[in-house]
Amino acid sequence: MLFIRTLSLLVLCLLMGCKSAPAPLPESEKLSPAKVKEIAARIDRRHGGLSSEMRRRILETVVRSVDNMVFIEGGEFEMGDFGIPCEYDPSDMCEWPCGLAPEEMCPITMYTDDDHLHKVRLSSFYLSRYHTTLGHFDLFRTAHGKELYKLGQRQRKDRKDDFAFNKPAFTRNWQEVKDYCLWLGDLSGFPVDLPTEAQWEYAARNRGKYVWYPTDDGNLEFGRNYPPRQRNINPRVFPVGSFSPSPLGLYDMVGNVKEWVSDWYAEDYYKKSPIDNPTGPATGTKKVMRGTPFFETPWQSAHSVMRRAEDPERDDYYFTSGFRCAVNTDQKLHEP
């Protein structure tokens, strides 16, 4: 009798369109249930045409992205090439300036665009502890009606690992990564954007300390705080967070992929940079990238002051060009 009654109710639901119970809201380390509910409502308004499953995945992405933000207390530092011992061992770095005379110190990089040491004073901000993952970037593209890139290669068994969810996002042009961060900001209600070049360097140097390599201890140790270099290991991009974080809790500041930041590039910008919260030149033809991809010789290019200039409108996706977002607020994201 109970079976017949249950079956009758099921048929009635099918005929009349019974609504299933809503999925529970994701829990957050930083956000209150009320804030998560507010974000969910905003996602429903912005992406009402998407399935409930897609909206749920977007909500989880936004909440996880906020939870992964690391608070970086602001301060003052000397930005640029502060010098390195002419004779040094990257696996056993001394503490700057190592008690050396000026003539025993050499430029950190061979480039002149970072030579001009200049004072910078930054407000507090947040920076993501991880690169944006391929899975989250794919979700963003799908939510906006864009095809996933390199679909043909994704079908190949020998390339499956290259397109894993937790690999750093492949990127093509600067505007698309900017739009991703702004999308997170719109949905979360926080001022999310790409970090500035000054914010990136300040965070990489543990709040502006004289740190040569932005690893957990300032040294390079292959396989522990930097990707291994053994010949029998295929030199591909690693999943985010594969190696030890920096003292601030940031992963992969060097050694996995290079990262877009918000600034336009100018070789002489350091000579005219304002002290307070510099944001780069007003215009330009190239955008700044920071960090070091896995395939480069690290003791030459993995330094915390290394600058790069890239075309912001490239015509293909590069698996060694990633990004992470920042939140430009000195207010704590934690809620009671």
Report how far apart the first and last C-alpha atoms of the chain are (Å, whole number). 50
- How is 238-250 classified by DSSP, letter by letter? PPTT-SPPPTTS-
8 A C-beta contact, residue 248 and residue 203: yes
pLDDT bin (cut points 50, 70, 90) of residue 297 is confident
Could you say which DSSP state residue 168 is in? Answer: B
Asked whether residue 150 is assigned to any structural domain, the reply reads yes
Phi and psi based region of residue 150 (left: phi greater than 0; alpha: psi -120 to 50; beta: remaining): left
Stretch 101-107: mean pLDDT: 92
pLDDT for 13: 40
Asked whether residue 23 is assigned to any structural domain, the reply reads no
pLDDT bin (cut points 50, 70, 90) of residue 332 is confident
Rounded to whole angstroms, what are the CA distances from 287 to 193, 199, 205, 206? Answer: 15, 15, 21, 24
Asked whether residue 143 is assigned to any structural domain, the reply reads yes
Asked whether residue 85 is assigned to any structural domain, the reply reads yes
Average pLDDT, the chain: 90
- How is 249-283 classified by DSSP, letter by letter? S---SSSS-EEEEEEEP-TTGGGT--SBS----S-
Q: How many independent structural domains does the chain possess?
A: 1
Separation of alpha carbons 208 and 291, rounded Å: 16
Asked whether residue 53 is assigned to any structural domain, the reply reads no
8 A C-beta contact, residue 93 and residue 218: yes
Enumerate the β-bridge partners of residue 105: 85
Asked whether residue 46 is assigned to any structural domain, the reply reads no
pLDDT at 1 over 60: no
Separation of alpha carbons 234 and 301, rounded Å: 20
8 A C-beta contact, residue 281 and residue 272: no
Enumerate the β-bridge partners of residue 78: 119
For CA atoms 145, 146, 148, 150, the dihedral sign is positive
Stretch 252-265: mean pLDDT: 96
pLDDT for 296: 86
Asked whether residue 29 is assigned to any structural domain, the reply reads no
Q: Which of 336, 335, 308 is nearest to 322 (CA)?
A: 308
Separation of alpha carbons 287 and 263, rounded Å: 6
pLDDT for 248: 98
pLDDT at 226 over 70: yes
pLDDT for 19: 46
8 A C-beta contact, residue 137 and residue 169: yes
Stretch 155-173: mean pLDDT: 87
Residue 113, domain extent: 70-327
pLDDT for 289: 97
Q: pLDDT per residue over 182-196, tens digit each? A: 999 999 999 999 999
CA dihedral of 35, 327, 295, 220, whole degrees rounded to 10: -100
pTM of the model: 0.91
pLDDT at 11 over 60: no
pLDDT for 161: 82
pLDDT for 10: 37
Give me 228's structure tokens. Answer: 């291994």
Q: Which of 266, 290, 292 is nearest to 280 (CA)?
A: 266
Report percent pLDDT > 90 for the chain. 74
Stretch 129-145: mean pLDDT: 97
Asked whether residue 4 is assigned to any structural domain, the reply reads no
pLDDT for 335: 61
Q: Which of 133, 158, 8, 120 is nearest to 64 (CA)?
A: 133
pLDDT for 152: 76
8 A C-beta contact, residue 106 and residue 85: yes
Output the 3-class SS for 109-145. Answer: CCCCCCCCCEEEEECCEEEECCCCEHHHHHHHHHHCC
Q: pLDDT per residue over 22-57, tens digit each? A: 678 999 999 999 999 999 999 999 999 999 999 999
pLDDT for 253: 96
User: Which domain CATH number covers 207?
Assistant: 3.90.1580.10
Q: pLDDT per residue over 239-255, tens digit each? A: 999 999 999 999 999 99
pLDDT at 8 over 50: no
